[in-house]
Every structure is written in structure tokens, then in C-alpha cells.
């Protein structure tokens, strides 16, 4: 089993370009697994972890409801935002500047074949990171992602998650609000969950801006032991 995970920070990148890149990495792993099964080739499957920051964009999962986008295309255009229907689970999600988006593209045969466990570990990575900032991140029963003040009238989501998996290979991932413009969340019903607020790390800490690179390092420091993985930084493609 290959426990090495190739880390690429894509910087600021268009959502569709990143989606296409994810698909290419995903397909490469799946194709290798098919070859191994058909030909007993014994080839090692790679694993990837992509960081990216997207321009304003709304994405709707395959089980999502279009009614959860509260504005039309004209308003999105005025706001400088794009919209895509995509092949992950979950409902509607916003990505934009000031948000850390992480896409682990892992062959879970290298780690454990349990999607529920995979999602809980991603949540735990964020929960442990929040704890380093003095915040108590929590899970909300029946709702994937990480929240604050669960079970109170002040419950608010700080990290959304939505994944796709095929042949135990994952793609898509999480969106962690760090310095996000929360006004963009008003244009949708986040994750299709009504009457729940959204927040950002800088808001919770009462600071104008949080160091994004620092947060990334904390996330990765928790990812490695949770997944028993070894991260190796790799230059992102141009």
C-alpha cells in the first residue's frame, strides 16, 4: 500500500480548470487499478492532495436542489460569480477568495476502504486545526462538515464537505472559510440547510485576516497521522 501523498498547492485557479485537473488525476488512478485487476500488473497507485483558492463560484452536487440558489444567472454575473452542476455528493456550496479548498484524490485501498471513516477523518483534521485557534469545532448529526455551537440557536458552519468516490478513489473534498466574504453565502441556502448560519475563521477570532498558509500547515500536520500518510510536496502544473 502506497501511503505517500503528493501535495500540490495550485494557488488561485479557475474552478472548471481545477475540476478538469482533478478528473485527470482521478482517471489516472482508476485506470491503473483497472490494469492491475485485469493484468495483475502490480502497479502502485498514486495519491494526491490539492490546495486551491477559487474565484467566486457556486457548485451544485448531483443530489442538490436548484431552488437552493436564490438568484439568477444575471445576478451571479453582476457579482462576478460562476455556477456549475458537478458530480460530487451534497447540495449547493460556495467557493471564493479567502477560503481554503482541499481536494484529496486518494486511492483508499492504500489507507482504508470506508467512505464514512474518510469523511469523519477530514472533519477531524479541521476540528483539530480549529482547536489550535481556541475554537471548538463540532459535527452536526446528519450534516457533513464542521460547525460551531451545534445544538444552539447560534450554530454556524465553518467548513463544508462533499466528495465523490469510485473504485475507492476519491475526489472533491472540503471548503474551509478562513477570510471569506460571507455576503456571498446570502445568495444561496448553504448545503440546502435552512436557518443555519455560515462563518469564517477571521470573524470568529475577531481579526481582519488570518494567515492562510499557516492554516494549511496546521491542516496538513493533522492529516498525516489521521491517515497514516506521508506528504511530499510536488510542484503544481502551470
What's the CA gap between 109 and 121, in Å, rounded?
A: 16
What's the CA gap between 233 and 48, in Å, rounded?
A: 10
Checking if the pLDDT of 192 tops 60, the result is no
Query: Does 145 map to a domain?
Result: yes
Least confident of 33-42, 81-90, 165-174: 81-90
Q: What is the number of other CB atoms lying within 10 angstroms of the CB of residue 74?
A: 8
Banded pLDDT at 125 (limits 50, 70, 90): very high
Across 181-217, b (16+ Cβ under 10 Å) vs e yields: eeebbebbbbbbbeeeebbbbbbbeeeeebebeebbe
Active site residues: 191
What's the CA gap between 128 and 146, in Å, rounded?
A: 11
- From the number of C-beta atoms within 10 Å of its C-beta (0-12, 13-18, 19+), residue 12 rates as exposed
Residue-wise pLDDT for 87-100, tens only, equals: 787 788 899 999 99
Least confident of 47-56, 74-83, 87-96: 87-96
What separation in angstroms does the CA of 235 have from each of 5, 174, 238? Answer: 13, 21, 9
Average pLDDT over residues 187-216: 88
Query: Does 198 map to a domain?
Result: yes
Query: Does 58 map to a domain?
Result: yes
Query: Residue 236 has what pLDDT?
Result: 87
Could you tell me which residues are beta bridge partners of residue 59? 84, 93
Query: Does 238 map to a domain?
Result: no
Banded pLDDT at 194 (limits 50, 70, 90): low
Query: Does 8 map to a domain?
Result: yes
Banded pLDDT at 229 (limits 50, 70, 90): very high
Average pLDDT over residues 181-186: 91
Query: Does 132 map to a domain?
Result: yes
What's the CA gap between 107 and 209, in Å, rounded?
A: 35
CATH number at residue 60: 3.30.930.10
Q: Give the residue numbers spanning the domain of 121.
A: 4-233
Query: Does 210 map to a domain?
Result: yes
What separation in angstroms does the CA of 36 have from each of 10, 30, 40, 42, 123? Answer: 30, 10, 5, 6, 32
Query: Does 12 map to a domain?
Result: yes
Considering its fold, how many domains does the chain have in total? 1
Residue-wise pLDDT for 98-113, tens only, equals: 999 999 999 999 999 9
The strand ranges marked E within 30-155 are 48-53, 57-60, 82-85, 92-95, 99-105, 138-140, 143-148
Residue 150 phi, psi dihedral angles, 5° rounding: -60, 140
Amino acid at each position: 500500500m502506497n501511503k505517500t501523498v503528493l501535495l500540490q498547492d495550485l494557488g488561485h485557479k479557475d474552478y472548471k480548470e481545477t475540476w478538469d485537473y482533478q478528473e485527470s488525476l482521478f482517471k489516472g488512478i482508476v485506470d491503473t487499478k483497472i490494469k492491475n485487476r485485469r493484468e495483475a500488473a502490480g502497479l502502485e497507485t498514486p495519491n494526491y492532495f490539492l490546495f486551491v483558492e477559487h474565484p467566486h463560484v457556486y457548485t451544485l452536487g448531483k443530489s442538490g436542489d436548484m431552488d437552493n440558489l436564490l438568484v439568477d444567472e444575471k445576478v451571479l454575473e453582476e457579482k462576478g460569480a460562476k455556477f456549475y452542476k458537478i458530480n460530487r455528493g451534497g447540495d449547493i456550496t460556495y467557493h471564493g477568495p479567502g477560503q481554503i479548498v482541499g481536494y484529496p484524490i486518494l486511492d483508499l485501498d492504500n489507507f482504508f476502504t470506508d467512505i464514512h471513516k474518510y469523511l469523519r477523518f477530514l472533519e477531524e483534521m479541521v476540528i483539530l486545526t480549529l482547536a489550535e485557534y481556541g475554537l471548538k469545532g463540532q459535527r452536526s448529526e446528519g450534516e457533513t462538515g464542521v460547525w460551531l455551537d451545534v445544538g444552539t440557536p447560534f450554530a454556524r458552519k465553518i467548513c463544508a464537505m462533499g466528495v465523490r468516490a469510485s473504485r475507492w478513489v476519491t475526489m472533491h473534498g472540503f471548503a474551509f472559510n478562513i477570510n471569506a466574504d460571507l455576503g456571498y453565502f446570502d445568495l444561496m441556502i448553504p448545503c440546502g440547510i435552512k436557518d443555519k448560519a455560515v462563518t469564517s475563521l477571521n470573524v470568529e477570532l475577531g481579526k481582519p485576516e488570518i494567515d492562510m498558509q499557516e492554516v494549511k500547515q496546521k491542516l496538513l500536520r493533522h492529516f498525516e497521522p489521521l491517515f497514516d500518510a506521508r506528504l511530499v510536496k510536488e510542484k503544481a502544473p502551470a
